């Protein structure tokens, strides 16, 4: 079993897509082991996306991620990281396959509805960023 961090980003929360996205998570067979509504400060968003701090989109991305509530989830499944990335679809919704969450809910590459960890090492760091061990059930 593997764990990954998922985020329902502020655009998807504002568009009232939380229910449909959580429903899809359950239908896909993930076990939700942690789930919380957060309102990230700019500093917290910058910390979360620190690996992107030198990218040209860093300022816009962290402004967007701290612009309103988001839902953070820790998901468990076999191959949870790649499984969740498949369900999300490509980062840029223009390249996302039919049936993926980003095809369905994303507006553009920045306002792309959902996030998922990209590797076991980043999943461990990202899960620990939002959840204490006792909060994962």
Give the residue numbers marked as catalytic. 115
Tokens of 125: 């760091």
Nearer to ligand CMP, 4 or 133 (CB): 4
Site pattern 111..130 for ligand CMP (x: CB under 6 A): -x--x---------------
Please, is 10 exposed, middle or buried when counting C-beta atoms within 10 Å of its C-beta (0-12, 13-18, 19+)? buried
Only one residue has tokens 């969450």, namely 101
HSE-up of residue 21 (Cα within 13 Å, Cβ side): 31
From the CB of 109, what's the least distance to ligand CMP, in Å?
5
Site pattern 92..111 for ligand CMP (x: CB under 6 A): -----------------xx-
Site pattern 55..84 for ligand CMP (x: CB under 6 A): --x---x-----------------------
Choose which of 67, 86, 91, 104 interacts with ligand CMP (CB under 6 A): 91
Tokens of 120: 């076991």
Long-range contacts of 97-106 (CB under 8 A, 24+ apart): 101/21, 101/24, 105/11, 105/12, 105/15, 105/17, 105/20, 105/21, 106/11
From the CB of 51, what's the least distance to ligand CMP, in Å?
9
Q: Which residues here bind ligand CMP, judged by CB under 6 A?
A: 52, 57, 61, 91, 109-110, 112, 115
């Amino acid at each position: 079993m593997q764990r990954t961090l998922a985020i329902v980003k502020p655009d998807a929360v504002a568009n009232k897509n939380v229910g449909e996205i959580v429903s899809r998570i359950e239908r896909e067979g993930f076990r939700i082991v942690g789930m919380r509504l957060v309102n990230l400060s700019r500093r917290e968003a910058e910390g979360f996306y620190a690996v992107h701090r030198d990218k040209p989109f860093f300022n816009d991305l962290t402004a967007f991620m701290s612009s309103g509530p988001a839902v953070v989830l820790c998901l468990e499944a076999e191959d949870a990281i790649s499984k969740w990335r498949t369900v999300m679809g490509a980062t840029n919704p223009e390249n996302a396959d039919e049936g993926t969450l980003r095809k369905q809910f994303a507006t553009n590459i920045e306002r792309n509805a959902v996030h998922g960890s990209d590797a076991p090492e980043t999943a461990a760091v990202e899960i620990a960023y939002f959840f204490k061990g006792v909060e994962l059930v």
